[in-house]
Amino acid sequence: MLTDRRPILLANAHIIDPSRDLDGPGDVLIADGVIRDARRGIGAAGVPEGTDIVNCAGKVVAPGLIDMRAFVGEPGASHRESFASASRAAAAGGITTIICQPDTSPVIDNSATVDFVLRRARDTAIVNIHPMAALTKGMRGEEMTEIGLLKAAGAVAFTDGSHSVMNAQVMRRALTYARDFDALIVHHTEDPQLIGDGVMNEGEFASRLGLLGIPTAAEAVVLERDMRLVALSGGRYHAASVTCVESLEILRRARDAGLKVSASVSINHLTLNENDIGPYRTFLKLAPPLRTEDDRLALAAAITSGLIDVVMSDHNPQDVETKRLPFAEAAAGAIGLETMLPAALRLVHNDGLKLTDLIRAMSTRPAELLGLPGGTLRPGAPADIIVIDTDVPWVLDPADLKSACKNTPFDEAKFSGRVERTIIGGRTVYELV
């Protein structure tokens, strides 16, 4: 649904804006694609003529979500996900900005491909899309890309996607070079040698299933190395996906030492654990793998403390042919654009996470880290806004998902809460019917 850009008054709302520590009743006025005001007592009087007045009836109004890690298959794999299908899924999930990954075909490692992504997304997507560019050429981990030129072309950060840069000298040079451009390095921390042929978290449950395990050390060893390289270089570093207690301890020490480090966690690792794999459910085969319940609880606590900055979807669509296989042979990955917020609301309802902390991690902090204009309801900011009914019960039917692929770990899951309206640039692009 794409409507005109008439002024909109979101009245009688519960406003959550972590950028201003707002958490309470109020109204939001939108005109000319930007937020004109967001406070208590705007009311219908004095708004521009022709304003569309929406009675939110106490529902939450918040900045649109910014997903820092999502795979979109353009160029080269649009059968898995196109900008058009990804953006429809994102809008339905309250995501107003997608940060797409560079592991496409060809790899996003030059200015021409960055330009293609931006133009293609502008022409076909209904949400904002920004690319991360590859950290090394071809994502081979051997030679760093032209970070300055790629940033000038529109890349918002630099990563080798699901590949780890194992050459420490290459990583050190990239961090040092990126520092001079104030560019953010986003790194997936998994040692491929320690992963070996592993397919799920190493431990008793893997042994019971007869599956080869992946130790948490595969993540922690690379993250520990990276923290030392950040100390040497002074660069800005973001851990793409932390999953275990050991990683949290490493991050805490780095923060205490004053290093410029931040981290994301996927919604899957926040709301699921290794036991959910059950009878070899391949839609829960992920990389990194789901960990223990103790790890999950520690990750959720780290959102509250601010040790983890960002919650992301880790959206990774896979074909039926690559998922309907024995667990050890199936491709890793799950879709998550439409389910990131509903799944995260489980943490609010069941684990006591504050909604304002959740919105901060899913909107405000990603905007700050990437230098994007969203993540706030301040007057003058782009009118990228969502309306959330936090209590409506519903059951996920994969057939209703707007993603091109349906490999969701939340098949037939019961949720409480979902997005009711998504507004981008002052236009309603999604409305729950």
- Find where tokens 């690379």 sit: 222
User: By C-alpha distance, which of 116, 139, 138 is closest to 129?
Assistant: 116
Residues 6+ apart with CB under 8 A from 204: none
Calculate the CA 349 to chain-centre distance.
21
Report the run of H or E that residue 91 belongs to, with start and end: helix 83-92
Q: What are phi and psi of 3, to 5 degrees?
A: -105, 175
Longest CA–CA span in the chain (Å) reads 68
Cα 199 to Cα 418: distance, rounded to the nearest angstrom: 32
User: By C-alpha distance, which of 103, 115, 96 is closest to 366?
Assistant: 96
CB 357 within 8 A of CB 303: yes
User: By C-alpha distance, which of 49, 69, 58, 51 is closest to 9?
Assistant: 51
Catalytic residue among 27, 191, 226, 314: 314
CB 93 within 8 A of CB 70: no
Six-digit token string for 12: 């009688």
Alpha carbon distances (Å) from 177 to 102, 181, 222: 19, 7, 20
Count the neighbouring beta carbons within 10 Å of the beta carbon of residue 6.
Answer: 15
- Using DSSP's 3-state secondary structure scheme, residue 27 falls into strand
Whether 32 is a known active-site residue: answer: no
Active site residues: 314
